[in-house]
A and B are shown apart, each in its own frame.
Chain A
Amino acid sequence: MTVPTIVPAQSFSMKIDGIDVSARAGQTILEVAQENGIEIPMLCYVEGLSNWGGCRLCLVEVVGQKKLFPACSTAASEDAQVVTNSERLQRYRRTILELIFSERNHVCAVCVSNGHCELQAMAQKLGMTHIHVPYRFPSHDVDSSHDRFRLDQNRCILCTRCVRVCAEIEGAATKGVSGRGIESLIINDLKEAWGDSQTCTSCSKCVHVCPTGALVEKGTAAAEMAKRRQFLPYLTVMRENTP
């Protein structure tokens, strides 16, 4: 009779912001940082969903490497020395935020998510005082065809959290992305009215993972749309149990 043995995951040490930390094979830099209480800014990452690496706020420096790496989708490696908060990174992160703010029509004062918005909070946290680039002021639609929810493209930052939670957790895959680059839009099914969707289960997960006021419950006035994120810690479990 063979006795099952527990094989320890391969672990190694590395440095983050000068602190010696231990990491396990397969972990990302972001996961190791979080385990050690080191905060790295991010907007598209949600624990439990697949990595997107699109917002670029979690860019970090690796000593000896010229380019920057997104912490959420870069594997931790032995003896790597990671810097998460240099002057250069702070400047880049503020610039990324400014580009996000200038790309659509983010008007915090009249937004249902005012005071509950991760983009707004991030701007304050990272010290973004104003937007150096010209605003685009694009013309975007608001889809209010669903009975309970609303999709406002003006407030979308294309983090794709909604797309991922819909496909990976709910298994409905109603949400998608159409277009490319600056023309990208979050869509329902084949770019149809949300209210006509045959696949949407109205589960509201997309609304509650959305970091801004792009996906909201109808009937909310300015500053009333607090998202309910209690289920977020269970995303990993739900994902692993999805057949």
Chain B
Amino acid sequence: MSANRKPKVATVWLDGCSGCHMSFLDIDERLVALSSLIDIVYSPVVDPKDFPTDVDVTLVEGAVSSEEDLHKIQVIRQRTKILISLGDCAVTGNVPAMRNSYEPAELLARAYVENAQSPDSRQPPTRGLPALRPKAQPVHELVKVDLYLPGCPPPADAIHFVVAELLAGRTPDPSQLTRFGR
């Protein structure tokens, strides 16, 4: 991270519930202090629609579940120096991976045929729905991950600790602040 510009930080949300992002917001007033030290260049909470090049730190929430997720994470990896798996879905697959004992076709039939309320809509949508991959996978099974921050969600203190340590140029070890399922 060069000294003459603020580090660029991104957060993304793949197959997750947004709980990790809620926990990120739970950093509360410390976010104000953080915002003077970093530029949040891409995130569900800021405007830009395209992932920028040359990002210093990206926090990824969620498992890689669809072809769209895979495409996103590959682009993000290319454009990010430090990639952090944020939360159990990104680290282990967690709840999204509970579908992995079933075939994607079975899942779609369950959701869009068996449980359809309107008889007219009894088929899976063919447009606007990214194709499901055979399994929801943790991020590190598809691209290299530099740091793991488990928790469901990781506590705000753990997220703040990791970002603050990275800003200070240290490699954080958040294992005392969070764990799987926290």
Contacts and interface: CB of A to CB of B under 8 A. Distances in A.
B175 A137 contact: no
A120 B101 contact: no
Between B85, B97, B180, the greatest number of chain A beta carbons within 10 A of the residue's beta carbon is seen for B180
A131 B138 CA distance: 9
Given A109-B94, A137-B101, A127 B135 contact: no
Contacts, number: 61
B98 interface: yes
A121 B180 CA distance: 9
A139 B103 CA distance: 12
Interface string B132-164: 000100101100010010101000000000000
A135 interface: yes
Interface size class for chain B?
20 to 34
B152 A108 contact: yes
Contacts of A123: 179-180
Interface stretch (A110-118, A159-167, A183-191, A202-210): A110-118
Interface of B: 85, 88, 91-95, 97-98, 100-101, 135, 138, 140-141, 145, 148, 150, 152, 175, 179-181
Interface of A: 101, 105, 107-111, 114-115, 120-121, 123-124, 127, 129-131, 134-135, 137-139
Given A108-B88, A110-B98, 19 more contacts: A105-B101, A107-B94, A107-B95, A107-B181, A108-B179, A108-B181, A110-B95, A115-B181, A120-B179, A120-B180, A121-B179, A123-B180, A124-B175, A129-B91, A130-B92, A130-B138, A134-B141, A135-B97, A137-B97
